[in-house]
Amino acid sequence: MSPNTDFLPFARPSIGIEEEEAVLRVMRSGWLTTGSEALAFEKEFAAFVGVPHALAVNSATSGLHLALEALGIGPGDVVVTSPYTFTSTAAVVRHLGAEVAFCDVAPGSYNIDPDALGRLLSTTKNCRAIIAVHIGGLPCDMRAIKALATRFGCSLVEDAAHSFPSSTADGYAGTLGDVGVYSFYATKTITTGEGGMLVTRDQRVASRAEKMRMHGFDRAAWDRYTAKKASWRYAVTEAGYKYNLPDLLAAIGRVQLTKAQRFLDERKAIAAIYDEAFSGIEGLELPPRGDGHAWHLYMLRTRTDRGGLDRDTLVEQLAERGIGASVHFIPLHTMPYYAERYGLTPESFPQASFIFERTLSLPIWQGMGLDAARRVAGAVLEIAGTRRT
Ligand SMILES: Cc1ncc(COP(=O)(O)O)c(C=O)c1O
């Protein structure tokens, strides 16, 4: 069978000649792992989002692990987050021996419900941290969540894996709590293939995360190999991790960062085409909106409860027309590990279960082009029917 050359993937990185040149520069420099490129990327990223400390890491998963560790989370502690997320958000809590308490998302939203969060916190003992996840790039209601974190004495971590660059009236999502962590995984708006960035205003958290990122050394490898004076000696002061971002990848991130605003504009234009095509169509519901959306994902809902087509059929029929779609997320309370550990059923979090059954993510990426977006919109309408309400 010949490959379908018209296939429109769900996501695709936008890598240009500038990124290729940056990688070549690093390859020819004689220094491939973490060094001057990673340091420059951290500085440039910190300036972009407006925080004093940014630490480049090899994934958002590592960054979230470092964030919770630096906040002192450990056995006996509880961390509250939404079940409507990727496994990393909760897995890092378990890596530290703490327990996860899930809180449902708000009706009509993909983000944690501040009302339900308030109720949960008032009955949860030993809650030490909240992880707010800005799903798809739409910022959570951070003012409400921050007020609850203060009232209940919890640290506030932002899983900002999807939300570069999501903005709010109070600053970029990811910079509004104690620590924020971005992902540069291959499908993210700016990418390094694999990678992430931890940001914080807290000097103590930054120093701890920096040390734990690199084996618990008292100094960076970069520093040891490049210092003019012979300086091979180092001390291991903690049992740390190996979570650094190599210069080869940081160099890609630096270029991508300069394109972030253009990437965002392109994504917004695609979202606008989808919005216009789907608004008022019976059986379809537009993604929740709000200012500052980064449009990492365009999560359309098919309202099977209002005559909409079954989600899986929609995904399959889009694939038959050469269009890749995806589903975010299979909620964690339905995953065997969390369901068994905490005795959860799909009914435990009715909002998350309801939206999971009805949601699909359409292609949205810079470089995809507006004609491709119109093709996707046309295919969805053709498959789902075009009755306007
Ligand atoms: C919400 C969320 N948090 C965390 C992660 C982990 O990101 P990474 O792949 O960079 O570890 C992902 C991955 O896609 C994610 O979707």
Between CA 233 and CA 216 the distance in angstroms is 14
Token output for 76 = 């006996």
- Judge if 104 and 58 occupy the same domain: yes
Active-site entry in 43, 125, 146, 188: 188
- Judge if 144 and 46 occupy the same domain: yes
- Judge if 280 and 239 occupy the same domain: no
70-93 pLDDT, tens digit per residue, is: 999 999 999 999 999 999 999 999
Instruction: Find the mean pLDDT for residues 174-198.
Output: 97
Domain assignment present for residue 3? The answer is no
Domain assignment present for residue 115? The answer is yes
What percentage of the chain reaches a pLDDT higher than 70? 95
314-332 pLDDT, tens digit per residue, is: 999 999 999 999 999 999 9
pLDDT of residue 11 exceeding 90: yes
- Judge if 199 and 306 occupy the same domain: no
pLDDT of residue 1 exceeding 50: no
pTM for the predicted model, two decimal places? 0.96
- Judge if 328 and 180 occupy the same domain: no
Domain assignment present for residue 331? The answer is yes
Q: What pLDDT is stored for residue 389 in this prediction? A: 58
- Judge if 218 and 160 occupy the same domain: yes
Q: Which CATH number is 358's domain given? A: 3.90.1150.10
CA of residue 95 to ligand 1 center, whole Å: 16
Cβ-Cβ contacts under 8 Å for 293 (sequence gap 6 or more)? 136, 137, 138, 139, 166, 268, 271
pLDDT category at 29 given cuts 50, 70, 90 is: very high
Q: What pLDDT is stored for residue 184 in this prediction? A: 98
- Judge if 45 and 169 occupy the same domain: yes
Q: What pLDDT is stored for residue 209 in this prediction? A: 98
DSSP 95: H
CA of residue 51 to ligand 1 center, whole Å: 21
Between CA 184 and CA 14 the distance in angstroms is 12
Ligand 1 pocket test, pick from 10, 68, 85, 88 with the greatest ligand atom count within 8 Å of Cβ, gives 88
323-375 pLDDT, tens digit per residue, is: 999 999 999 999 999 999 999 999 999 999 999 999 999 999 999 999 999 99
Instruction: Find the mean pLDDT for residues 55-68.
Output: 98
- Judge if 55 and 204 occupy the same domain: yes
Between CA 210 and CA 52 the distance in angstroms is 14
Between CA 266 and CA 77 the distance in angstroms is 42
243-279 pLDDT, tens digit per residue, is: 999 999 999 999 999 999 999 999 999 999 999 999 9
Domain assignment present for residue 183? The answer is yes
Sheet holding 284-285, edge to edge: 284-285, 298-302, 359-362
- Judge if 265 and 304 occupy the same domain: yes
Domain assignment present for residue 4? The answer is no
- Judge if 83 and 153 occupy the same domain: yes
Q: What pLDDT is stored for residue 3 in this prediction? A: 47
- Judge if 66 and 132 occupy the same domain: yes
Q: What pLDDT is stored for residue 218 in this prediction? A: 85
- Judge if 180 and 323 occupy the same domain: no
Domain boundary among 209, 234, 258: 258
Q: Is the CB of 183 under 6 A from ligand 1?
A: yes
pLDDT category at 55 given cuts 50, 70, 90 is: very high
Q: What pLDDT is stored for residue 305 in this prediction? A: 80
Question: What domain range includes position 371?
Answer: 261-384
Domain assignment present for residue 12? The answer is no
Domain boundary among 219, 242, 258: 258
Ligand 1 pocket test, pick from 10, 57, 58, 61 with the greatest ligand atom count within 8 Å of Cβ, gives 61
188 is catalytic: yes
Nearest residue CA, atom 3 of ligand 1? 161
Domain assignment present for residue 11? The answer is no
What's the total number of domains in the chain? 2
Q: Which CATH number is 187's domain given? A: 3.40.640.10
